[in-house]
Amino acid sequence: MRAVSRLTVILGLFLALAGLLPAGALAQAKPVTITFWDAEPADLVKLRTEILKGFEAKYPNIKVNYLNIPYAEARQKLVTAAATKTLPDTMFFQATWLGEFAAMGELLDLGPYADKWAGAKNLLPQVFSVGKAYKNTLYYLPSEFQIDALYYRTDWFKEAGIKAPPSNWAEFLDAAKKMTNPTKNRYGFSMRGAGGNERYYIMWMLMANGNVFFEKDGSLGLHKHGGMDGLKNYLELCTVHQVCTPNSVNNSFLENTAEFSSGAAGMYIHNQYSVARQVKAFGGTVEAAREKFGTAPIPRGPKGRYIAANFTNGYVMFKQSAHPAETWELVKWMLSPENDSKFSQTTGALPANKSVYEEAWFKNNPFLGVFKQQLDDPTGSFNFPIQMAKWNSLIAGPLKEEFQKGLLKQQSAEATGEAIAKAISDALK
C-alpha cells in the first residue's frame, strides 16, 4: 500500500511538472515526424516551405512531412485518407469540409488546446465563432478570411457619369444598365453562375430577409421573410434586365476576373484575392490600378444593410494523429502573427490576428479596407452553415444547378427558390 502511494505521488508530481514545462522541453523530447497537407496554389509552396523550416529550426526534434496537393484533388484525397486511416496530423483545411469530416468523427477538438494558449487572445473573435460551427466545438481554427465586396471600373463609371459606387440595389441596377452595351461587348455585371454561385444569391436573399438563414427552431428561414424577393432581384439582373455577360451561367471567379480586367464587365463581386490580380492587370502598381478600378461594400438591400459572405480556410487536427502535442505546436506556429502576416501579404487573405491589421502593408492598401469593414460589421457578414454534413455536396449539386435553371429561364425565380429551399431542408433531416 505504501509502495503504491509513493508511486502515485511520484507519478502525480511528474505529470504536474510536465504540464508546467515550457515549450522548450518539447524541443528536447525524442524525435517525431508529423505530416502536414495543404492545397495551396503552387506559387505558395515556397512560402509554406520557408515557414515550416522556421518551425523545424525552433523544434529540432520535430520533422514535418509537407505535402502540397492540387486543390481540385484535395477533398478526394482527404476522403480516401479517411477511409484508409491514413489522414495527416494536420491540414490547411477548407471550411466547407468541416461538417462532413466532423460528422465522420475524424477531427480533434481543439478547445482544450486553445484554452491554454496565450496567443488565442490576439485572434479575431470570428475565428472562434466560425471554428465552433459544428456542435459548438472548436474543431477548426480559421486562419484566413475571404470577404466579398464589389469591384467596379472607375473609368467606366466616369464615362457613364456615375459619381460614386452603388450603395443600394436600385443604384447597382442603374449603374449596370448604364454600362451595358452588347454591340461593344460591354456588360454591367459579370455574375458567377458556375461553382460557388450560391455565395452570392444567398447573400442577396439574406439582405432581403434581414439575415435569417435558420429560424429559431432550426428550420430553414432563408426563403422566408422576403428572401424570395432577394433571389428574384438577383436573377432578374440577367433574365430581365440583361446586364450580365452572356457566359455568366458558366462563370467561375476566374472568368469573372478575366471579364472585368479584359473590359467586358463593369462590375463583379469577389473577395480580396482579386485585388492582387486586378492590380497586376491594371498597371502593376496600386497607384496605376486606382485609375481603373475600385472596391466598395456590397450594395445594400431593401432592409438597408449589406451582407457579405464570410468564407474561410484554416487548420484542423485529425484524431488519427499520433503526435497531437507536437502537431498543436505546428498549428500555433502557423497562426502566429508573424507567419499570419507573411501569408496574408502574399495571398491577399484577411488575417486571423488582430495585430496584423495594424501593419503598414494593410493600412496603406486602399483596396483592402472595405473587406475589413465588412468583416468587422457583425450585422454585415454571414457564415455559411458549414456545420451541415451535406453542405459540401449541396453546393456542388442542387444549390448550383437550381440557380442555373433560374438563370437559363428553365424555371421561374419562385420555382428556383422553392427548389433551393427544399434541397437544404431535406439535407437538414
Partner 1 sequence: MRCHLRIPPRLVPYLLLAPALGFIVLFILYPLGLNLYTSFQHRVFTEPTGNRFVGIANYLAVAKDPTFWLVLRQSAVWVVGSLAFQFILGLALALLLNERFPARGLYRSLILSPWAISGVIIAIMWKWMYNPQVGVLNEILVRLGLVGHRLAFLADPSTSLPAVILTNIWRGTPFFAVMLLAALQAVPAALYEAAAMDGAGTWRRFLHVTLPSILPMVFAALLLRTIWIFNDVDLIFVMTDGGPVRASETLATFLYKKASRDLDFGMGSALAMVMFAILMTITAFYYRAFRRSDRIL
Binding site for partner 1 (CB under 8 A): 75-76, 79, 82-83, 99-100, 103-105, 182, 185, 193-195, 245-251, 255, 258-259, 262, 264-265, 389-390, 392-393, 396-397, 400-401, 404-405, 407-408, 410
Q: Which is nearer to partner 1, 65 or 80 (CB)?
A: 80
Question: Minimum distance from CB of 79 to partner 1 (Å)?
Answer: 6
Q: Which is nearer to partner 1, 38 or 259 (CB)?
A: 259
Question: Minimum distance from CB of 322 to partner 1 (Å)?
Answer: 21
| Nearest alpha-carbon partner for 349 in 331, 324, 386, 375 | 375
Ramachandran angles phi, psi of 64, nearest 5°: -110, 120
Question: Minimum distance from CB of 130 to partner 1 (Å)?
Answer: 20
Task: Note the helical H segments in 71-226.
Answer: 71-83, 98-103, 111-115, 125-131, 154-159, 169-179, 198-209
Determine the Cα–Cα distance for residues 352 and 355; give it in Å rounded to an integer: 9
Question: Minimum distance from CB of 64 to partner 1 (Å)?
Answer: 28
Listing DSSP states for 101-142 in one string gives: HHHTT-BPP-HHHHHT-GGGGGB-HHHHHHHTTTTT----EE
Question: Minimum distance from CB of 309 to partner 1 (Å)?
Answer: 21
Q: Which is nearer to partner 1, 97 or 306 (CB)?
A: 97
Cell numbers for 305: 444593410
Q: Which is nearer to partner 1, 51 or 194 (CB)?
A: 194
DSSP helix/strand/coil, 178: helix
Q: Which is nearer to partner 1, 357 or 391 (CB)?
A: 391
Q: Which is nearer to partner 1, 129 or 250 (CB)?
A: 250
Q: Which is nearer to partner 1, 41 or 397 (CB)?
A: 397
| Non-local CB neighbours of 176 within 8 Å, separated by 6+ positions | 187, 188, 189, 237, 241, 243, 266, 267
Question: Minimum distance from CB of 110 to partner 1 (Å)?
Answer: 21
Q: Which is nearer to partner 1, 264 or 276 (CB)?
A: 264
CB 270 within 8 A of CB 148: yes
| Nearest alpha-carbon partner for 412 in 198, 197, 239 | 239
Determine the Cα–Cα distance for residues 226 and 19; give it in Å rounded to an integer: 54
- In the chain, the amino acid numbered 77 is K
Alpha carbon of 195 to those of 72, 219, 253, 396: distances in Å? 12, 25, 9, 7
Question: Minimum distance from CB of 88 to partner 1 (Å)?
Answer: 18
Question: Minimum distance from CB of 99 to partner 1 (Å)?
Answer: 8
